Amino acid sequence: MYILKNLPFIGFLSACFTSCQGFVKSNPEKSYAASTMELMKLLEVEDELVDNLNGYVKTLKMKFNLMERSLIDMSIEHREMKSEYESYLGNPLNSFRLIHRLHTSWRKWYQYAIRIENNALVHIENARLMRKMLPTSSDLQQACRGIHDLMSFYDLKPEELAAGNLAGHSQPETGLTAYDCLALGEFGVQNRKDDLAEAWYNLSLTRFEDIFDKYQVHKAWALLLAKNKQLTEAFHHFENKPEEIVASNEVIHFEGVLATKQNCTAVIQKPSRLHCRYNTSTTPFTRIAPLKMEELSLDPYMVVFHDVVYDTEIDGMLNSSNFGISESVSGLKSEVRTSKDSHIVDSKTLNERVTDMTGLSMEMSDPFSLINYGLGGHFILHHDFHEYTNTTRLKRGDRIATVLFYLGEVDSGGATIFPMLNITVTPKKGSAVFWYNLHNSGAVNSKTLHSACPVISGSKYVLTKWINELPQMFVTPCMKDSNLHLSQIE
């Protein structure tokens, strides 16, 4: 019996719990953590659960053994058939038996395999009914609080408790598991005891062996560090994610924040193999009014145009715009983007200029978006393409390219970075950076990942134009470069 084996320890633990100041409140509801008698009832519940589970396993084993014996017989005949299939199938009786076996016998085995036995259903129903007797999340919170109170009163360390040492009473068999340590770490985070939480996380890591279990701890630890602005340390924990695990939105968000911080502070060298020239070929107008163009990348194609928006145009846009705040989501401060933006009435002149710059049609494209980044204003790593499903994309089209105009100088910070290309574009009044978001095949180009670094000093104004792919059918015909970009298409 579990009760007799652990009775001395339960009495000691319960006495410590109930003696801790502020732990037991005047609450008429049952509390497992605060009563020895209630804890003994839990052991009785565990006895019943173990017996019930043993019965369920026994039922499954009987089913498994029957299927295994039948599979051995079928495998013998199958191997005989494969070794001499011509002579085997030359016998019409064997041919009949093969057809009958695959049509009828295997179907029956499938039905038997998925059928749940009545005995198994009884055990499952018993387990469901016993759920009402199990501790609630509130009980677990109280138990965690009791452990933390013990540590405070008796100056115990997480390492001691994890090893089963309680104020001089050593019981190694009562040592905590990796999941126990993880639960205590999560409780520490919830109660703002970050140092204790990290200690419990560390103990949990040393006890887990499976890499997927370990990543649970790394993820929880990284989120704690990121919350405390220890971004570099958090990044090291995120790096332990197994390839088989799909990152959650929360993890993707913080990875974006961390990568933005790292790349915004890095020293980026401009590529030396590309050059500056006058663009005279995109439209007939550029032949008589060429545009100053600086190449930055060939994959994706990216250039900076200089002196393509004039001071009078900039003043007109800034004076006539009503900026709406975009620094909050549902009333909470956003870590993704801190800025103010305004959609301005599309200017025919500016649209024609973008066509002169890019050679692309402005039909179906998004309206110009005027964005202001103030002190600390930023936008974490992101792509501009939507990556719609095929049905939606055929109707709406994706963003084939982006044009980003800089409408003012920034004293410090505020650069646009492309970490996968090792490119940094510094805001310069009147200039614009243009790049393709899609390959010629239509596949998205993941290398266009970019971010707006925080503004340190000054105010940053940018004007964005996202160009739709659908009207470009005859301007940029789809080219069969799928072999070059399999990763984007799969």
pLDDT digits (tens, 9 = 90+) for 50-98: 888 888 888 888 888 888 888 887 787 777 777 777 777 777 777 777 7
Are 134 and 45 contacting, i.e. CB atoms less than 8 angstroms apart? yes
In a domain, 281, yes or no: yes
Domain of residue 410, CATH code: 2.60.120.620
Are 201 and 262 in a shared domain? no
Mean pLDDT computed over 184-198? 93
Higher pLDDT residue, 489 or 198? 198
Domain that holds residue 343: 256-386+393-468
Are 92 and 199 in a shared domain? yes
Are 485 and 448 contacting, i.e. CB atoms less than 8 angstroms apart? no
Are 267 and 228 in a shared domain? no
Are 119 and 199 in a shared domain? yes
Are 227 and 270 in a shared domain? no
Are 92 and 143 in a shared domain? yes
Are 141 and 278 in a shared domain? no
In a domain, 4, yes or no: no
Are 117 and 58 in a shared domain? yes
Q: Count CB neighbours of 4 within 10 A.
A: 8
Are 380 and 443 in a shared domain? yes
Are 147 and 201 in a shared domain? yes
Q: Which CA distances in Å does 349 have to 6, 122, 278?
A: 83, 76, 20
Closest CA to 472 of 432, 434, 438: 438
In a domain, 18, yes or no: no
* Total structural domains within the chain: 2
Question: Which pLDDT tens digit goes with each residue over 133-182?
Answer: 778 888 888 888 888 888 888 888 999 889 888 777 778 887 899 999 99
Q: Which CA distances in Å does 205 have to 172, 190, 195, 199, 221?
A: 19, 19, 16, 10, 10
What's the pTM?
Answer: 0.56
Computed over its alpha carbons, how large is the radius of gyration of the chain? 33
Mean of pLDDT over the chain:
79
- With vertex at residue 46, the alpha carbon angle to CA 43 and CA 51, rounded to the nearest 5 degrees, is 130
Instruction: Indicate the residue among 201, 236, 271 that finishes a domain.
Output: 236
In a domain, 290, yes or no: yes
SS3 (DSSP) at 264: helix
Instruction: Indicate the residue among 236, 268, 298 that finishes a domain.
Output: 236
Are 80 and 189 in a shared domain? yes
In a domain, 88, yes or no: yes
At 125 the pLDDT is 78
Are 131 and 269 in a shared domain? no
pLDDT above 70 (res 23): no
In a domain, 490, yes or no: no
Instruction: Indicate the residue among 207, 236, 265 that finishes a domain.
Output: 236
In a domain, 50, yes or no: yes
In a domain, 169, yes or no: yes
